[in-house]
Amino acid sequence: MDSFAEPRKPVGTSTSLADVRAQVLKLEADLREKNIELSGRIIQVCHYLPVSCAFSRRARPADIPSPPATPPAKASDIPPSPTEAEQRHDDHPLTAPRGSALELPASQWSISARYGHSAMVSGIDSLASTHEQIFIGWTGDIESSAVAVPQAAGQSAPGASDSPANRIPASDLGTEDRKELESILAEYKSRDEPADGKKIRYVPVWLDDKDAHGHYDGYCKQTLWPLFHYLLWQDVATEYASADEHWAPYSAVNAAFARRVAEVYRPGDLVWIHDYHLLLVPALLRQEIPDATVGLFVHTPFPSSEVFRCIPRRKEILDGMLGANLICFQTYSYSRHFTSSCVRVCGYEVTPRGGIDVQGHVTAIGYCPVGVDAERVAKDTLRPGIQHKLQALRALYEGKKIIVGRDKLDVVKGVVQKLRAFEKLLQDYPQWIGNVVLIQVTSPALTDSPKLERQVSELVAHINGEYGSLDFIPVHHYHQTIKKDEFYALLAVADLGVITPLRDGMNTTSMEFVISQERSKKSPLILSEFMGISSTMTDALQINPWNLSEVAAAMHRGLTMPEEEKLRRHQQLYKTVTTHTSHTWAAILAKQLLERLGSQNMARQTPFIAKGQLEEHYLKAKKRLFLFDYDGTLAPIVKVPSAATPTKDTLEALERLSADPQNIVYIISGRDGEFLEQHLGHIKNLGMSAEHGGFIREPGASTWSNFTESLDMSWMSEVLEIFKYYTERTTGSHIEVKKSSITWHYRSADPEWGLFQCHQCQDLLENNLARKRPIEVLVGKKNLEVRPLAVNKGEIVKRILYFHPDAEFVFCAGDDKTDEDMFRALLLFPNNATHARLDPPLSVTLLAKEDEPAFEPVDLALVPDAVFTTAVGHSSKRTLAVWHVTTPEEVVEHMLHLVHATDVRASTASNL
């Protein structure tokens, strides 16, 4: 990547929700006009369902204790009730008669709203206005609620304090129990779903408890979360920690989620996968449903490639993410870090539009910051209990400025840095001693950190001891979860909000602060520049939390800011917060995925080659042509080109195919003739073409024919000088000079610098030399090649066809741009024609001798269905080929299958 500046604001930041929804409707209408299937459904895949589940098993008759015998009843004026009369029994009056049923509770399950991820969930809920949705997530730990069984006489019911809620192992739940919860969830509706909206169906993922906790408490929280916040797992562990310890449960849980999505998926669905808990799901789902339209949104920061490359499973994680069609981040810088990691760690290439190309499957990269549900927060700030608490706070701190902070007590939230900056404020600006207080609320983090708690407590005590007095306490620290009324009262009473994370993705407190201040003081806000939302909230006072003097100066400036500046900054922040809400965010994600669906890269999916159809035409044909590229088609791409040697299976397939007199087999490669002869020259009847069609050796021949002998090749010295210039300036690059072409390789160079230099060199060649000389410039995989215009693989294919017009079957396989020339040459039947005629190609006339008669057009024996052009790579790869396979191994497998089919037919014929 040659630019590190943010190119533009996120798409849709200044667009209203109504406008985005209108654009979504138009996109859907356009896609349907193009016959692209849309179901109108969005599948949202999150780690947790937005509900907590509790289970209480129904009492069975055998579970009910028998009470002591009832004493004989005395005569009464009141006759017994019919029910009592029916239930009367000699020994056990409360025991049901045989064959009758006890009245049991209606449901064993109770569900309640789960707290957390409110912005994401409210955004998903808002999409119900326009789309039917399926919300897939883990149930979380199943809590046990009290079983409704009567207590036997003499037994005392344990109190709540004596019997804490126990978790029920998932393995204890039977199929019927699970089905019951699934049916309850199918009817569940949250309070935030639009009243007249479309259905949201909640689908649970059932996980083994050991896997579930190894996934979340292990790999997610001990490895990925620290890494994404620029901490290594060893920095947060209390004892020796292995980054791979919990990889198995992480993989298992991701596989379970992928299977669950595949179960409910139907063609035309859009799938959005959320956050770092499920980074492997896109690729796993792609394997199950190759044509699925999948988006991945990463809510956390994404670290620099230099940090990310430390994780042992880096390639597996990146490949898992790249199964998506679109990956979205909170900010442009996070997306740039991800792209850099793909280039540096995996060696993948960046497309001109900024996507990542993985074997032809292009994943688009975007960014779109999450907002809060501004309408709901605004309503919450008007709750009746807030005003009373607001007045109490004003009275308590009358005459003093109030700085407010609210954070999780987590190592990356910057609470320690904030306290030290406040101490610096009192040092550098002593006029604030006795006139300002810091109210810091810290809610408990997901994992306890006694060391951090102790450090914060000691720092608070130090500041209060140094600058406090009997009637003045500078820092009020509350380590507790406060109620919503208290929280909004605290935000509204503040004269300054200070939020200083060392790393953070989305921070809702900053946005809630702005909305709370709308009806209050319009107080300024200090934000860390290391937060994901800092790029959109540009009117906040942005600081580096590590620079204590800068933070202290910002605090002083915020406390003394003129009213006009306060109002101006607040109005801009309020507009940002209320315009780019969680609702807008969710609608923009739907829009971006629809745009991706309509892109050229996804508009045509190349089908996987059908073995049955291939075998049928192969066996039926009397003469067959096989045309193979080498690198990436018969052998995988490797970093050191000389290491790309053919496997045992590859050699067997080529030997068996070329030994059949009905087959004509050619290798058409960019390699030089020396390499091809070294590794494949021993195969007697194998034809070869080297240097992208510059040379050819016919089957059974020992000499090469040179197509460039009659061409002007003087341009090679000029290109060589240009390539030398760039080689000197690009460490790790080298030049490969062939007889008919010249190539500059940068596979071993720094990937980003190498790509930048490649683009610069390409521009120079195309805009200067290529205009004056009969050459073309080809950008390959980590290389730049210059060759004569008259020489390419397509010309060789035409030559082979011309000299074998009676061929009734063609199989042609390749993997990169140069192989598209072969596929183009085999487009023999335009406008649904059924007959093909071929004029003498340049590759025939170039080698013709002067005394030879003129070459005439030939009629080909081929029919359209017998031409199998096959691209190696993903089904969404842009290609002229009709079929695809995924890997070179599958090409070899199909060839061996055809050889075996021939053997079977021969064996059957001999038995007859």
Burial of 616 (0-12, 13-18, 19+ CB in 10 A): middle
Residue with tokens 């290609």: 879
763 classed as catalytic: no
Angle between helices 715-728 and 751-764 (to 10 degrees): 150
CA-to-CA distance for 180 and 139, rounded, in angstroms? Answer: 13
Q: What is the DSSP letter of 756?
A: H
Name 89's Cβ contacts closer than 8 Å, sequence gap at least 6. 95, 97
Angle between helices 648-659 and 888-911 (to 10 degrees): 40
Q: What is the DSSP letter of 273?
A: E
Q: Quick one: which H or E segment has residue 656?
A: helix 648-659
Residue 665: both structure tokens together: 């087999």
How many CB atoms are located within 10 Å of the residue 799 CB? 25
Q: Quick one: which H or E segment has residue 624?
A: strand 624-628
How many CB atoms are located within 10 Å of the residue 695 CB? 22
| Burial annotation 875-895 (CB, 10 A radius, 16+ → b, else e) | bbbbbbbbbbbbebebbbebb
CA distances from 160 to 145, 154, 350, 617 (A): 11, 19, 59, 75
Q: What is the DSSP letter of 446?
A: S
Question: What DSSP string describes 158-222?
Answer: PPTTTSPPPEEPGGGS-HHHHHHHHHHHHH---TTS-TT---EEEEEEP--HHHHHIIIIIIIII
CA-to-CA distance for 505 and 533, rounded, in angstroms? Answer: 7
CA-to-CA distance for 296 and 583, rounded, in angstroms? Answer: 17
Name 186's Cβ contacts closer than 8 Å, sequence gap at least 6. 201, 202
Burial of 437 (0-12, 13-18, 19+ CB in 10 A): buried
Burial of 266 (0-12, 13-18, 19+ CB in 10 A): exposed
Residue 703: both structure tokens together: 């000499």
Give Cα 513 to chain centroid, integer Å.
Answer: 31
CA-to-CA distance for 313 and 279, rounded, in angstroms? Answer: 12
Beta-strand (E) ranges in 493-540?
Answer: 496-499, 525-528
* Cβ–Cβ < 8 Å for 744, 760: no
* Cβ–Cβ < 8 Å for 328, 299: no
Instruction: Report which of 525, 552, 548, 546 is spatially closest to residue 536, judged by C-alpha positions.
Output: 525
Q: Which residues pair with 53 in a beta bridge?
A: 111
Instruction: Report which of 534, 524, 529, 527 is spatially closest to residue 496, judged by C-alpha positions.
Output: 524
Please identify which of the residues 629, 631, 672, 819 carries the catalytic annotation: 629
Question: What DSSP string describes 718-749?
Answer: HHHHHHHHHHHTSTT-EEEE-SS-EEEE-TTS
753: left (phi over 0), alpha (psi -120 to 50) or beta: alpha
* Cβ–Cβ < 8 Å for 345, 314: yes
How many CB atoms are located within 10 Å of the residue 235 CB? 11
Angle ∠(738,744,748) on CA atoms, nearest 5: 120
Residue 231: both structure tokens together: 């901490």
CA-to-CA distance for 903 and 563, rounded, in angstroms? Answer: 90
Residue 528: both structure tokens together: 């860390």
Catalytic residues: 629
